[in-house]
Chains A and B, each alone.
Chain A
């Protein structure tokens, strides 16, 4: 037994699992284990009866005591030669885990002592390893394995368990049949047993294939987490008056009278020309008082109506998405990234030396920054105060991996295989169509975390909110009833901050006269109506309170308003801003994204004769009240609730395993036992029916084929040019229009050493192309 080093600082690895159906099971740890071949570990706790372990737990330290437990020796780590960032290992000796139906999980400590001189040598070694904090990356590469994330992985795991259970129970089926003495039946079910066996094999193989098919994926998302910035091309300019049809009004010099007269754009055709404007004979009729608005008069390009070239939604063109795909391969910041663990105060101080997995020291540590390698502290010294003997056991990790970095195929000198990619872009000429297609796409790829419905407010919600913002409650005050009261259906717009909205409803109970209290000084009179004076002869006066709204001309109201997105985004109603009634004058936008152009009602009529002037309803914003959001409408993808039933599946399979065990020992012929067996079978049949029903529900989703309109795919089959080859292909590929709204996902796969997908390829990307229907 190894000598105990520290009772509190030895790093316990919990949640370590090992494989079934092997004589040398592979152990997988949650964190990097840091073990080497011939290291010893002591297993303190185990769920298994094959690989056992029992340690002593200290309630004082709330920790397994170091060195207690059952000792095992490490046979191999992360494959041949070991791997410093490995999370897998095997043990010396043979352990047949074929019948180990437990959860196969253990908890252990490393108990290998590193010789004192080794540690000292490592610590005093070269301290030149200075390094820089890495820049923050934008769209980052992430690893992806189909059937390894989200609801779909849970479903795949359940399918695998079912297949394995079926297989292990099949061996017992014939014996069971003999006991039940239905040999005639057995003859009939033999083909069924064979078919079941084959099908179970197929399911296991299919899951294996999917699990081994690992990719990198890059998600270019301008709208949700916004790892790229969409542009909103508009300029500010002075508000120009428009007629009721929305055409711009210009003022043309009447050379006879010397006066400027109103003339509408396009009447006659070609009016106004650039020459006319430059000469000063024509000028824009600007709103008074002057006001800068997005999409206002553009003196640099006065003949083009700016309203016709703007969009209310942030645009990210297809060409920009493709560019992001290409750029991401060169992103210097997109490398494996480690973030400090725990509180900053608990980490080594800025500038303190920190150590890598091999014990090499580094300077330049700053707990607030990300670094590109796993780091550790020096560890605590022996309780007796002597130098650290086992650096590996005494140290504690001070950071953990938060991103994997881009696939650096050519950067890996040992990589001599190929690489391939699949790029998918959702592109549409208008935002509504874009969100419709995206909705279907995200449901179909719910196994990609960014699209997962379990993220709470997901991407789709985010897009929906852009199109249909949640209603807000706007409290207004000093509504001047002389110009009319607001009613549901009115569109209001604020004067200073460019917020717009349509009134959905008004709470009549909250429409009350505005309290407008004033004070004034009045002279004090006697009963005869004469001024009262003090002893010095000064007139006496007093301050009295005056109701300045005695007839209720000014009102307070509470409006429920559906916000309308302005050209420059969605603006809140700010207290103190004035809101006026709006009217539509023409439209803005282009293509399918046409929107009404709201301007203040009667704008421009101020200079007209009194009788023809039009005044808007008007009030001041008191405040905006938070509004409880409406519940989402079911069903959505998450509505199937596989996560709710999957724990049930787990219990079910446990029952099934017990049942199988019972089958083994069905020697008893007592009526009670047989009746139990029959009841058990009935229950399992009922559960299987339930499971089939749920699968049918899921299948309904996946029977959907995404419509081709709006979804563009580029398949780059396995090739030997590395990342440069993929970049070149991405740059050269044609056949996609440069639409205004887009987002994209790029999968990259590298060639492995095993044939997959039925032996057709070594690159999982080819398997992905097959299952996505791109081949």
Chain B
């Protein structure tokens, strides 16, 4: 037997937009973390390059 649907006082939400915003925020957050690691990596490379250049310079200078 079909169930009669009735009107109900409802607490309307917008979970679709909320979820989308929350996921996008999380994505931006995590991507930021990844970029942080990359940045540190590049900083290490830069430091390494400078150190290597200094060592070579010292070597050349005797």
Contacts and interface: CB of A to CB of B under 8 A. Distances in A.
Q: Which secondary structure characterizes the binding site on chain A?
A: helix
Interface of B: 4-46, 48-50
Contacts of B38: 173, 176-177, 180, 681
Contacts of B45: 179-181, 669, 674
Contacts of A703: 18
Given A146-B16, A699-B22, A708 B9 contact: yes
A688 B32 contact: yes
Contacts of A685: 32, 35-36, 39
Nearest to A686: B32
A770 B21 contact: no
Contacts, number: 201
B42 A677 contact: yes
Interface string A747-775: 00000000000000000000000111110
Interface stretch (A203-211, A293-301, A467-475): A203-211
A388 interface: no
A163 interface: yes
A738 to B, nearest CB: 11
Interface residues of A, number: 82
Q: Which secondary structure characterizes the binding site on chain B?
A: helix
Residue among B13, B16, B23 with the highest chain A CB neighbour number at 10 A: B16
Contact of A678 (B8, B10, B39, B48): B39
A714 interface: yes
A162 B49 contact: no
Given A210-B20, A685-B39, A773-B13, A692 B28 contact: yes
A635 to B, nearest CB: 18
A691 interface: yes
Interface of A: 146-147, 152, 155-156, 158-159, 162-163, 166, 173, 176-177, 179-182, 185, 188-189, 192-193, 195-196, 199-200, 202-203, 206-207, 210, 423-425, 441, 444-445, 447, 669, 671, 674-675, 677-678, 681-682, 684-685, 688-689, 691-692, 695-696, 698-699, 702-703, 705-717, 729, 732-736, 770-774
Pairs of residues from A and B, 3 with the lowest C-beta to C-beta distance, nearest first:
A180-B41, A736-B7, A713-B10
Contact of A772 (B15, B30, B48): B15
Contacts of A163: 24, 27
A713 B22 contact: no
Given A181-B48, A716-B5, 15 more contacts: A147-B17, A155-B21, A196-B30, A199-B26, A447-B17, A674-B45, A681-B35, A681-B42, A688-B28, A706-B12, A713-B7, A713-B10, A735-B7, A736-B7, A774-B10
A702 B11 CA distance: 13
A689 B25 CA distance: 9
B9 A678 contact: no
B17 A152 contact: yes
A724 to B, nearest CB: 14
B20 A207 contact: yes
Contacts of B20: 147, 155-156, 159, 203, 206-207, 210
A192 B34 contact: yes
